[in-house]
Amino acid sequence: MHCHRNSDGGFEVIIASSGENAVELLDASEGKYRALVTDINLEPDKLTGWDIARHAREIDPSFPVVYMTGKDVDDWASKGVPNSIMLAKPFAPAQLVTAVSQLLNSGTTLA
Give the interface with a second copy as residue ranges (CB under 8 A): 8-11, 54-55, 57-58, 61-63, 73-74, 76-87, 91-95, 97-106, 108-111
Residue 1, H or E segment? none
Cβ atoms < 10 Å from Cβ of 89: 10
Cβ atoms < 10 Å from Cβ of 56: 23
Q: Closer CB to a second copy, residue 47 or residue 87?
A: 87
* Residue 60 beta carbon to a second copy: minimum distance, rounded to whole angstroms: 8
* Residue 85 beta carbon to a second copy: minimum distance, rounded to whole angstroms: 6
Q: Closer CB to a second copy, residue 2 or residue 109?
A: 109
Q: Closer CB to a second copy, residue 2 or residue 90?
A: 90
